[in-house]
Structure 1
Amino acid sequence: MIQILKLKRAMVLTLLLCFFASLSFAQRLVKGKVSTAADGTELPGVTVLIKGTTTGVSTDLNGDFQISIEDDAAMLVFRFVGYLTKEVPVSSKSYFNISLEADNRQLEEVVVVGSRFNPRSVISSPVPIDNIAIDELADAGHIEIDQMITYKVPSFNSTQQTVSDATAHMNPADLRGLGPSRTLVLINGKRKNASSLVYINDTPGKGEVGVDLKSIPTSAIERIEVLRDGAAATYGSDAIAGVINIILKRNVNEGSVTMNSGVTTEGDGFQYGVDANYGFGIGERGFMNVSVGYADQRHTNRAGSPGKDELFDVGADNPWIQANPSLGMVVGQPDMIKGDAYFNMMIPFAGGGEVYANGGVTNRRGKSFALYRTPYWIADSPHGPEGFLPTFENDINDNNLTVGVRGKKGDWNIDMSSTFGSNSMDYTIGDTYNTDLGEASPTSFYAGGYDFSQLVNNLDISRDFGMLRLGLGGEFRMENFGVRAGEEASYFGSGAQSFPGLQPSNELNKKRYNVGLYVDGELDLTKAWLLGATARVENYSDFGSNLSWKLNTRYALLDGKLNIRGAISTGFRAPSLHQIYLSNIQTLVSGGTISNQGTFNNQSPAVRAIGVPELKEELSFNYSFGMSSRLTDQLTLTADYYNISVDNRVVFSGEVNGGDDPNSKINQILAAYDITSMKFFTNAVNTQTQGVDIIASYNNLAIGRGNLNLNLAANFNETKIVGELGTPQALKDAGNDDWFNRKEQGRLTSARPQSKIVVGTSYKIGIWGFTLNNTRFGKVSWQHATDPEKDQTFSAKWVTDLNISAQISDNFSMAVGANNLFNVYPDEIDTKGDPVTDLGGRFKYPWEVNQFGFMGTYVYTKLNIRL
């Protein structure tokens, strides 16, 4: 038996030797060098592939390569960022000198957003556009899209919120400080649905509705285009500040698996995730690209540690406070688990047309924390004598699907599509109880939820007449907003501690539709002078019609190396269904007293009784001018000034009470609803925003044996309130002139940085890549509700991110890095004698105004496997 086993092993060994010997005779080694066509500089890191296979190598530090070839009929493919791809037949040659031409088309970053005609470059566009590849965004080390864009586009801001109910699970994001509602988000050029949430807590973007950017997985994205100009005439409502167009991947026969993990240097906030992407070919030109992902994030805590509680006037001698100097608080990012799946596909059909589709599903479950209920706040509870920390648990689902067909009919390009999108949120309030139910109270409650969905049908037709390009089309959109009540125990009496559940009286299911028609044109007056014009009319079922228009122009000098550009437009934003119909009750903590505060919807008799009119559309007037230049193939520079006026802005009021007269109309309303104050939405503020965007980049600068890229981007802006507030008549009669007080006004004008500068450098040498980004977040100011002496300005700060990567093999790379390398935090809160400012020391860092959050240094590692 042993002899038989030995014989079998010998036979296997012999067969293996014969196999590898046959390979060695079938293959031959091909060598070569790759350099630039311009000056012969050696190019390290060039990808060399055998066409039609995944077999390939990369050039070394000297630009040299060697690769095994089985077939003399094979074709070698040479690829390198910033250079034209080159294909070379092997034939019988054994050595190749390859020179690559600079790819000006790639350097100029062709984009599709902002025009319905042929794609044009960032430099030749008549309006400012950023075009950012996902690899460039990912090199900064951030995981979520909103954070990636924040550290790349100076006029975009998004920060993690905390202790703010559902807002802690969605980061309010905006362009040019104009609030989340005024930035339109597209996926492959089609409108993305808004979230179901209104940000009603004391955070930036309060009273606004935005898109849930966390719902779009980075693994599915090829690049992001950011149009920094008013575009309501082109795309409809919400595009007052600009447009973010997310382009999905379409690569085939290749893919990747990416794993990441990280933690803060404080030892909390641990995160890990894995995502995969792969593209399949369908026929000769079709494709299906699929992405799936999973991520897990743990919470952070940067609470204050006052050792006393001035909010409740409890001193340091209290035994519980001596044992819990941080007052039991958890202030930071929430726990979160996310899973997602996305796809992008296209199938051509006879006649040159194609069917396309894209979409995805995302589920996110998170847990954030409320204010700790101390024993001297809630004396008796099922949790025992130590008090309890209520949790706010969110279950968020975001789904979207686009299906369309495009092709040509004669000389006309036709694109028809339908897009459905929805977002839902369900709330559970955990580790709490309802004091009015006493010992019978549960400690966890389903508190209700929100839904928002939209169905958008588009028809776009365009034709090129040579010097003139003409487009026209229409959009039909249906929207639905729904509210679900929680279980009865969640809202019985004063309701669950920290968040009384949504009541049956809050339930609703509201719909509306709108029809939009547009005409769009571009005319080449001369070879150098481009003129564009757009007009759009929309009719909404709930408030009527609007006409908006836009004119833009660009004049090219020095053979297109320098462009002078400008635009002027009107725009509008329809009040969201959320803002029209939302109503709820929140727990309010102020001056040591606890009370319930009601939000009344804009249609309620109570709001009409105090003279608040029905909501109507916001109107904007936008003009901008600037220049763009490509002085050399490596050096680009753009600078643009913008001025945006928004009239009739929809705002969320501050706390409104009836004053000292118990018989006032407002006090009668409050008594009828068993609340101490009320809030509402109204068109009441006119604002003017102006600023400057500057972007400069120098790419592919040869330094030693590597290439250096340098980028500088800056935004300087100012928003101010123009004219008087639109105060409802009943509040005027009651002398209540602080219904939209200084603090609420400051949220519009100074809660976001008034300047931001991004200085980025990346260096590639051989297998190594180094990325260093320095971001200067300008000052923000918090305004006290009534006393200017208690205002505080939080100074500008520099935040440094470092990423080091290594392409270990053709199919394997890794990276390590640190976000906020030097552990920079915002200035600490100075209460100036008012304990409400930091809620009795519970908050150490500002949360009502934000620059870059307060998580500190985050270190991470990433692994990527190419499939």
Structure 2
Amino acid sequence: MSNLILGQTVSGVVTDDTSQPIPGVSVIVKGSTTGTTTDFDGNYSLSVNQGETLVFSYIGYETKEVVVSGSLLNITLKSGVALDAVVLVGNRAKPRTILDSPVPIDNIGVSELKNTGQPTVDKMLTYKVPSFNSSTQTISDATAHFDPADLRGLGPSRTLVLVNGKRKNQSALVYINDTPGKGEVGVDLKSIPAAAIERIEVLRDGASAQYGSDAIAGVINMVLKKGVEYTTVNAKAGVTTEGDGFNYGIDLNTALTGENGAYLNLTFGYYEQDKTNRSGTPGADALFGVPANDPTFGSWLAENPDLGMTVGQPELKKTDVFFNAGLPFKSGNGEFYTFGGLSYRKGKSFALYRAPYWVQDPFNLLHEAGTTYQGFQPNFETDVRDNNVTAGAKWELLGFNVDLSGTYGRNAVDYNVTNSLNPSLGASSPTSFDVGAYSFSNTLANFDVSRNFGTLSVAFGAEVKGERFTAKAGESASYVGGGAQSFPGLQPSNEVTATRDNYGVYADLEWEPTEALLIGGAVRYEDFSDFGDNTSWKVNARYSLGKSGALRGSYSTGFRAPSLHQIYLSNIQTLVSGGTISNQGTFNNVDPVIRAGLGVPQLTAETSKNISAGITYKFENNFTASVDFYNVKVNDRVLFTGEIGFDGDNASTNPVEQVLIDNSITSLKFFTNAVNTETSGVDVVLNYGNIELGNGKLDATLAANFNDTKIKGKIGTPALLEANGYDIFNRKEQSRIISARPKSKILLGLDYELNKWNFIVNNTYFGEVTWQHATTPTNDQTFAGKVITDLVINYEFSDKFSANVSASNLLNVYPDEVDTKGDVVTDLGGRFRYPWEVNQFGFNGTTLNAGVTFKF
């Protein structure tokens, strides 16, 4: 954005319609990537040629184009709507507005994120983007601390996340518990603080040909703040109306700037939350067959009708430090830049309570001698570190805009199980265990070149990437014998250090033969050291309807490389089913037991075909609409199989059972390319802004997503398992793909400004989800759609001090309760009151929040 061309210097100030300066306005020479941004006081300066057109744009204001005819050019921007905001994602040739983009993009400013009333970026996006979903998980080991997130219902693995246009590293965790996104790997969105973000661009279209692996569902680009007018401090606190889940946080964002356009933006943040508990209260344990009037344990059940459980959000403490910096060249035709951050958080979630009739404590390790034994609830504690840094330079060379950068990102998680024991160790068992750790990192070098030749824009470049995944064993006490209760530690045989590298080259072309017609295309070739290569391509077009809108469409192929985690992960988990405790083994894809013994093929890339078509239309300056249809076919989708165990035939031992016997486990799982899916849907966005209402102005947004995913064809079961009658992906596992996320989500947002007051009411309809029983369709349950209402009230005491109060889930809406239909495993004997294997919006109920903002 800082590249200049030779010519006369034009300068001025950009203000809003109340004569207040607007910092951070994008000023671009039309038809190029040359430009700058306004400083704290709305000032800008740019070297251009007379007769060229400058485009002024900023989130929340109408874009304005002005022909240069002198050296002084002061501009006033009118309040506008998001469809006119300039975006960078989805197009490497030059920035475009959402209105004339050939693909659908959401552009969400920081104030919009804050006005959702949600505490973290993943939850903010859930209540702002209809096709994005993330909800709190519970009783799911490390998954409870990451919360799988996905776009268009295509799973966490198929959304690419960028920071300032550079690839963000994935998390170290594979979601292997019974939650949405099971078997997949995503980006740790909790590691990016909202206070550091200027805006988020969400590209809702396949983009593998432009950005590489993972971009099947789309791309999320986090654009960090640069220069800011004030140092801003936000402090907030909240609690549920049940009196639990108390949370508080404080963050600071500031910037240093130089007269030459240099900037350093810094963000510091801290957030803490307590647990919540919404467990069931059956008063009897059907899972273990212990009635309420049991002669031995009846008094314990009477005193603990919830069976001792804690079912809700985990405890969390999080610290963030982020920076974003730029230093222009002395020559004025480029800049050095760097950005990144560190996020550290500690979490505590909870496993199934070990009732006194389940696990004994004969050596008084977890209770005092002479007292009545009450059982114990193991804690699953995590230390999560996520750090990333990018450094690079942008400059102009022979008329081309060049960007050379390097990026390093790492996510690591250490596991500890506390308040537990290993019965195999008797009196010598610890009560706290180091049960292992995972880490994942990537190192990238990017070289990107672009240029505009009038009606033709070209971009090309290359990327080299190295990845590293490690698994570290826990202490021996955590895994010997039966292992620590709730989570046997990773064993030395599970340890791994796996690496791979790949390189990619791409080319991107856009041609505007007329002012109305835009035709674009991209192609990308990538080669991976472990499974081979892939070529993806994309074509798109946009036909302008003048200033009223545009028709647009695209067709693309895409791919997703299997993650190193999915290839190399192995462990043992403790399962509880029907009162039976068992150990389940996950074998990695390079293990001879799986490859040679069971005939499971090598993991390879998923491939996709994505088609979309839509229209954007501005009925008037204040009323705009967009509608986009899409169809995404994914072939050879990587899945994590269901439990594969003994077939119940005691007459003989089949090859699968022999593997179980040899490894002292009762069931096994593995990753394999085995499913083809087809997802169809429609996105609708309607914005009506600046509605005169009394003495104030009202902005209204109606946005919706409707989608449906189907499994196409036969599931690819390896021949040996199929011959022995095994179903590797039963109905329950299938429901995590086709019905665990809402098939519809509708957002109605109302934002009313009255003098110093700002009232926001957000209504979010989460459509129904369906849990499928593994074998019995009559035990399926559909959980009805619900509307969640959020209220946010802001008051501005002065331009430097404001306060807000909010109620998330104002009407205290909960999901439908679980109906066991006679199957006690469905809610684990009444322990779960609300669904957890499929999920809409969690089950905390109403949370009341208050906060203040200081600027200086």
Instruction: Give the TM-score taking structure 2 as reference length.
Output: 0.90
Match of 2:366 among 383, 391, 394: 383
Other-structure match for 2:569: 582
Contact (CA 8 Å) 1:260, 1:274: kept in 2 or not?
A: yes
Match of 2:732 among 737, 743, 753: 743
Partner amino acid, structure 1, of 2:272: D
1:842 aligns with 2:831: yes
- Tell me the CA shift for residue 740 of structure 1: 0.8
User: 1:35 and 1:586 mapped to 2: Cα distance?
Assistant: 59
- 5 Å matches for 1:593-632? 593-608=580-595, 609-632=597-620
Match of 2:112 among 126, 133, 136: 136
- Tell me the CA shift for residue 658 of structure 1: 3.4
Other-structure match for 1:395: 383
1:175 aligns with 2:175: no
Partner amino acid, structure 2, of 1:211: V
- Tell me the CA shift for residue 101 of structure 1: 5.0
1:859 aligns with 2:820: no
Other-structure match for 2:816: 827
User: 1:866 and 1:368 mapped to 2: Cα distance?
Assistant: 36
User: 1:620 and 1:53 mapped to 2: Cα distance?
Assistant: 43
1:633 aligns with 2:613: no
Contact (CA 8 Å) 2:81, 2:687: kept in 1 or not?
A: no
| Runs of 5+ unmatched residues, structure 2 | 1-14, 24-37, 43-57, 65-73, 368-372
- Tell me the CA shift for residue 457 of structure 1: 0.5
1:467/1:46 Cα in 2 relative to 1: closer, same or farther (>3 Å)? Answer: closer
What percent identity do the matched residue pairs reach?
Answer: 55
User: 1:742 and 1:104 mapped to 2: Cα distance?
Assistant: 48
- Tell me the CA shift for residue 235 of structure 1: 0.2
User: 1:311 and 1:866 mapped to 2: Cα distance?
Assistant: 56
Contact (CA 8 Å) 2:273, 2:315: kept in 1 or not?
A: yes
Match of 2:697 among 685, 707, 731: 707
Contact (CA 8 Å) 1:645, 1:688: kept in 2 or not?
A: yes
- Tell me the CA shift for residue 46 of structure 1: 6.1
Other-structure match for 1:678: 668
Contact (CA 8 Å) 1:282, 1:288: kept in 2 or not?
A: no
Contact (CA 8 Å) 2:104, 2:203: kept in 1 or not?
A: yes
Contact (CA 8 Å) 1:252, 1:288: kept in 2 or not?
A: no
1:81/1:111 Cα in 2 relative to 1: closer, same or farther (>3 Å)? Answer: closer
Other-structure match for 1:692: 682
How many pairs does the alignment contain?
Answer: 789
User: 1:53 and 1:418 mapped to 2: Cα distance?
Assistant: 27
- Tell me the CA shift for residue 284 of structure 1: 1.7
Q: Secondary structure at the match of 1:560?
A: helix
Other-structure match for 2:299: 319
Partner amino acid, structure 2, of 1:521: L
| Runs of 5+ unmatched residues, structure 1 | 1-33, 37-42, 57-78, 86-97
1:518 aligns with 2:506: yes
- 5 Å matches for 1:439-838? 439-557=427-545, 559-608=546-595, 609-659=597-647, 660-661=649-650, 662-736=652-726, 738-838=727-827
Q: Secondary structure at the match of 1:631?
A: strand
Contact (CA 8 Å) 2:59, 2:82: kept in 1 or not?
A: no
Q: Secondary structure at the match of 1:531?
A: strand
1:640/1:822 Cα in 2 relative to 1: closer, same or farther (>3 Å)? Answer: same
User: 2:16 and 2:440 mapped to 1: Cα distance?
Assistant: 55
- Tell me the CA shift for residue 80 of structure 1: 11
Contact (CA 8 Å) 1:258, 1:274: kept in 2 or not?
A: yes
- Tell me the CA shift for residue 241 of structure 1: 0.1
Partner amino acid, structure 2, of 1:363: Y
User: 1:129 and 1:99 mapped to 2: Cα distance?
Assistant: 27
1:397/1:54 Cα in 2 relative to 1: closer, same or farther (>3 Å)? Answer: closer
Other-structure match for 1:344: 324
1:101/1:651 Cα in 2 relative to 1: closer, same or farther (>3 Å)? Answer: closer
Instruction: Give the TM-score taking structure 1 as reference length.
Output: 0.89
User: 1:775 and 1:614 mapped to 2: Cα distance?
Assistant: 42
Q: Secondary structure at the match of 2:644?
A: coil
Contact (CA 8 Å) 1:551, 1:568: kept in 2 or not?
A: yes
Q: Per-residue CA shift, 1:416-464, capped at 9, x if unaligned?
A: 0000000000000000000100111000000010010000110001111
Contact (CA 8 Å) 2:238, 2:247: kept in 1 or not?
A: yes
Q: Per-residue CA shift, 1:162-190, capped at 9, x if unaligned?
A: 00000000010000100000000000000
Other-structure match for 1:288: 264
Contact (CA 8 Å) 1:84, 1:100: kept in 2 or not?
A: no
1:122 aligns with 2:98: yes
Match of 1:432 among 420, 438, 442: 420
Q: Secondary structure at the match of 1:383?
A: coil
Contact (CA 8 Å) 1:373, 1:389: kept in 2 or not?
A: yes
User: 2:535 and 2:376 mapped to 1: Cα distance?
Assistant: 54
Partner amino acid, structure 2, of 1:343: F
User: 1:562 and 1:109 mapped to 2: Cα distance?
Assistant: 14
1:161 aligns with 2:137: yes
1:468/1:387 Cα in 2 relative to 1: closer, same or farther (>3 Å)? Answer: same
1:278/1:319 Cα in 2 relative to 1: closer, same or farther (>3 Å)? Answer: same
User: 2:806 and 2:94 mapped to 1: Cα distance?
Assistant: 39
Q: Per-residue CA shift, 1:493-534, capped at 9, x if unaligned?
A: 110000000001000100000000001100002110000000
Other-structure match for 2:46: none
- Tell me the CA shift for residue 369 of structure 1: 0.2
1:82 aligns with 2:54: no
Q: Secondary structure at the match of 2:645?
A: coil
Contact (CA 8 Å) 2:632, 2:678: kept in 1 or not?
A: yes
Considering only CA atoms, is the larger Rg found in Structure 1 or Structure 2? 1
User: 1:418 and 1:311 mapped to 2: Cα distance?
Assistant: 54
Contact (CA 8 Å) 1:772, 1:801: kept in 2 or not?
A: yes
1:590/1:624 Cα in 2 relative to 1: closer, same or farther (>3 Å)? Answer: same
Contact (CA 8 Å) 2:696, 2:755: kept in 1 or not?
A: yes
1:563/1:586 Cα in 2 relative to 1: closer, same or farther (>3 Å)? Answer: same
User: 1:80 and 1:221 mapped to 2: Cα distance?
Assistant: 13
With 484-493 and 661-670 compared, the bigger mean Cα shift is at 661-670
CA RMSD of aligned residues (A): 1.9
User: 1:100 and 1:701 mapped to 2: Cα distance?
Assistant: 20
- Tell me the CA shift for residue 102 of structure 1: 2.0
1:246/1:53 Cα in 2 relative to 1: closer, same or farther (>3 Å)? Answer: closer
Contact (CA 8 Å) 2:573, 2:585: kept in 1 or not?
A: yes
Q: Secondary structure at the match of 2:322?
A: strand
User: 1:785 and 1:667 mapped to 2: Cα distance?
Assistant: 20
Q: Per-residue CA shift, 1:342-362, capped at 9, x if unaligned?
A: 000000013311000000001
Q: Secondary structure at the match of 1:730?
A: helix
Partner amino acid, structure 1, of 2:708: E
User: 1:107 and 1:720 mapped to 2: Cα distance?
Assistant: 32
- Tell me the CA shift for residue 631 of structure 1: 2.1
1:48/1:149 Cα in 2 relative to 1: closer, same or farther (>3 Å)? Answer: closer
Q: Secondary structure at the match of 1:214?
A: helix
Match of 1:368 among 322, 341, 349: 349
User: 1:246 and 1:629 mapped to 2: Cα distance?
Assistant: 26
Match of 1:195 among 160, 171, 176: 171
